[in-house]
């Protein structure tokens, strides 16, 4: 069944090429399509298109369909083009003529749009929850290891003292920026496009304010062309937020792979959480974080992919938009999985506590020595040159003691303030 059926059959090769795997992807949109149908039906009754009895029949049938979606028995057979045609068919089968009225004052274009907007809102909330879980774990582990010193690097060269607490809480606070972008994407998705029809409105006296309220949108996309133009733009906005979270996880994964190597040896994991080699019996590889890094890097390419598909399209609908669905949905699922796995691995993080005793890290304290002499009255440039000469001569013997007190430093991680900041943004 096709919503645009006019009495002829599409050639099989065109059918295969144009439908693609939309049926499978549309299963993720099914519950949202039911929600859109419910709101639309109530609005049609409100403006006199449906009778109260017809509305009751439609709502009852949609409730039954929603149950099959919830329990996993809802399917979209090959005879249907998409979820929209399947649900309309089910309505007609269940209640007859009243079901045929559900598409009044609506196009598949705005059906797809409202489904995707609702889907994006739901998935963003789910992602935010997963980010929050990871954030809390990072803060907990940072507090647990806040006094464990480790080297800090610039240019991958030993630079200044850091700490495990400073390192972990840095990623916790970075997640706040990611939440801000998730919130922005949510706000863009939180605009009702239903009622824009094919992009040019309808001659029916529909009540778009009513469907906006019924569907829980903050506002509507008022201009009907603008509503259709949100296709692609909304997905791109979400992709930027996904990319931001993925960027944080990818950088953290790279750190973990580096820091758990034998040349560094700052951290580790139980052997059960690593993988081995087929030829080298000693290997315990960080495959989890290598794959996480690769998967997150792939997600970071998503905004570019969406941009290349959509950036030269004119206003109005184009079938090109169909190509966005799979990449966006896959990225969301992969990112949720990465967040869950990262949180699990962090709970089993092992930290080496005495690594700073190694003399290769003595130069970490050069800045501490410079600052100490400045505090005792020496000009900074003189102190810098004096310590530099001692290092070059091989006479540098630092006192391995660190006293940082300012906000956000080793001795003052501001974990409580970071938590409060996260809650404000969340």
On the question of pLDDT at 299 being above 90, the answer is yes
The answer to whether residues 220 and 261 belong to one domain is yes
CB atoms within 10 A of CB 395: 8
Q: What pLDDT is stored for residue 314 in this prediction?
A: 95
- Residue 268 in 3-state DSSP? strand
CA 195 remoteness from chain centre: 29
Mean predicted confidence (pLDDT) in 133-158:
96
pLDDT in tens, 77-100: 988 889 999 999 999 999 999 999
Helix (H) or strand (E) holding 114: helix 108-144
The answer to whether residues 349 and 259 belong to one domain is yes
The answer to whether residues 343 and 361 belong to one domain is no
- Residue 402, φ and ψ in degrees, nearest 5: -120, 130
The answer to whether residues 27 and 43 belong to one domain is yes
**Across all residues in the chain, what is the average pLDDT?**
93
Whether the CB-CB separation of 19 and 81 falls below 8 Å is answered with yes
Which residue from 265, 211, 238, 202 is spatially nearest to 39, judged by alpha carbons?
Answer: 211
The answer to whether residues 362 and 231 belong to one domain is no
The number of distinct structural domains making up the chain is 3
pLDDT band at 67 (very low <50, low <70, confident <90, very high): very high
Helix (H) or strand (E) holding 95: helix 83-95
**150-245-270-356 Cα dihedral, nearest 10 degrees:** 0
Mean predicted confidence (pLDDT) in 196-209:
96
The answer to whether residues 72 and 211 belong to one domain is no
Q: What pLDDT is stored for residue 399 in this prediction?
A: 86
Q: What pLDDT is stored for residue 352 in this prediction?
A: 94
Mean predicted confidence (pLDDT) in 123-129:
98
pLDDT in tens, 251-266: 999 999 999 999 999 9
Whether the CB-CB separation of 420 and 172 falls below 8 Å is answered with no
- In terms of Cβ atoms closer than 10 Å to its own Cβ (0-12, 13-18, 19+), residue 336 is middle
Question: Per the structure block, which two tokens stand in for 372?
Answer: 């100490």
The pLDDT > 70 percentage for the chain reads 95
Mean pLDDT lowest among 122-131, 144-153, 170-179, 281-290: 281-290
Question: Per the structure block, which two tokens stand in for 25?
Answer: 């992807």
d(CA 399, CA 371): 12
Question: In this structure, what CATH number is given to the domain that contains residue 220?
Answer: 1.20.200.10
On the question of pLDDT at 310 being above 80, the answer is yes
* Beta strands 191-192 and 157-163, pairing class: unpaired
On the question of pLDDT at 107 being above 90, the answer is yes
Q: Which residues are catalytic?
A: 155, 277
d(CA 195, CA 54): 21
pLDDT in tens, 331-341: 999 999 999 99
d(CA 281, CA 353): 27
Q: What share of the chain is helix, strand, coil (3-state, %, to 5)?
A: 65, 5, 30
Q: Supply the pTM of this predicted model.
A: 0.92
The answer to whether residues 376 and 285 belong to one domain is no
Q: What pLDDT is stored for residue 333 in this prediction?
A: 97
Q: Is residue 122 part of a domain?
A: yes
Q: Is residue 157 part of a domain?
A: no
On the question of pLDDT at 367 being above 80, the answer is yes
The answer to whether residues 366 and 350 belong to one domain is no
The answer to whether residues 191 and 335 belong to one domain is yes
Q: What pLDDT is stored for residue 18 in this prediction?
A: 55
Q: Is residue 49 part of a domain?
A: yes
pLDDT in tens, 32-61: 999 999 999 999 999 999 999 999 999 999
d(CA 232, CA 309): 9
Alpha helices in 190-321 (DSSP H): 208-214, 224-259, 287-299, 302-310
- In terms of Cβ atoms closer than 10 Å to its own Cβ (0-12, 13-18, 19+), residue 59 is middle
Mean predicted confidence (pLDDT) in 377-388:
95
Q: What pLDDT is stored for residue 19 in this prediction?
A: 54
Q: Is residue 2 part of a domain?
A: no
Q: What pLDDT is stored for residue 4 in this prediction?
A: 42
- Residue 151 in 3-state DSSP? strand
Q: Is residue 97 part of a domain?
A: yes
Containing structural domain, residue 366: 357-425
pLDDT band at 102 (very low <50, low <70, confident <90, very high): very high
- Residue 291, φ and ψ in degrees, nearest 5: -70, -35
CA 38 remoteness from chain centre: 29
On the question of pLDDT at 113 being above 50, the answer is yes
The answer to whether residues 175 and 311 belong to one domain is yes
The answer to whether residues 281 and 334 belong to one domain is yes
Question: Per the structure block, which two tokens stand in for 111?
Answer: 């059906």
d(CA 405, CA 402): 10
The answer to whether residues 264 and 116 belong to one domain is yes
Please give the full DSSP string across 21-56, using - where no structure is assigned: THHHHHTTTHHHHHHHHHHHHHHHHHTTSS-HHHHH
**Looking up tokens 């409105």, which residue turns up?**
201
């Amino acid at each position: 069944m096709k919503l645009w059926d006019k009495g002829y059959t599409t050639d099989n090769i065109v059918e295969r090429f144009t439908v693609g795997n939309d049926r499978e992807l549309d299963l993720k949109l099914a519950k949202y399509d039911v929600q859109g149908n419910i709101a639309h039906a109530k609005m049609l009754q409100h403006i006199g298109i449906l009778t109260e009895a017809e509305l009751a029949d439609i709502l009852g049938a949609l409730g039954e369909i929603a149950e099959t979606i919830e329990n996993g028995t809802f399917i979209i057979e090959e005879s249907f083009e998409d979820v929209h045609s399947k649900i309309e068919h089910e309505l007609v089968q269940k209640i007859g003529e009243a079901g045929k009225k559900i598409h009044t004052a609506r196009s598949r274009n705005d059906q797809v749009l409202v489904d995707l907007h609702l889907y994006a809102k739901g998935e963003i909330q789910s992602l935010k929850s997963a980010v929050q879980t990871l954030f809390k774990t990072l803060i907990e582990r940072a507090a647990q290891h806040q006094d464990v010193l480790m080297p800090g690097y610039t240019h991958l060269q030993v630079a200044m003292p850091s700490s495990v607490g400073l390192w972990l809480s840095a990623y916790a606070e970075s997640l706040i920026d990611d939440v801000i972008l998730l919130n922005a994407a949510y706000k863009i998705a939180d605009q009702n496009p239903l009622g824009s029809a094919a992009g040019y409105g309808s001659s029916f006296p529909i009540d778009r304010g009513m469907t906006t309220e019924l569907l829980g949108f903050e506002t509507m996309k008022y201009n009907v062309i603008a509503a259709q133009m949100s296709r692609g733009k909304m997905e791109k906005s979400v992709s930027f937020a996904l990319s931001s979270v993925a960027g944080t996880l990818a950088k953290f994964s790279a750190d973990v792979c580096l820091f758990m190597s034998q040349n560094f040896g700052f951290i580790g994991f139980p052997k059960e959480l690593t993988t081995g080699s087929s030829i080298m019996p000693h290997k315990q590889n960080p495959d989890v974080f290598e794959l996480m890094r690769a998967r997150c890097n792939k997600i970071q390419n998503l905004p570019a992919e969406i941009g290349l598909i959509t950036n030269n399209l004119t206003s109005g609908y184009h079938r090109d938009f169909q190509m966005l669905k799979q990449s966006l949905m896959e990225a969301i699922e992969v990112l949720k999985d990465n967040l869950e796995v990262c949180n699990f691995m962090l709970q089993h993080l092992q930290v080496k506590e005495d690594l700073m005793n190694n003399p290769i890290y003595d130069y970490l304290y050069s800045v501490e020595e410079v600052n100490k002499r400045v505090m005792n009255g020496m000009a900074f440039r003189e102190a810098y040159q004096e310590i530099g000469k001692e290092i070059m001569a091989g006479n540098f013997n630092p006192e391995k003691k660190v006293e940082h007190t300012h906000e956000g430093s080793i001795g003052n991680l501001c974990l409580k303030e970071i938590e409060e900041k996260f809650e404000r943004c969340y």
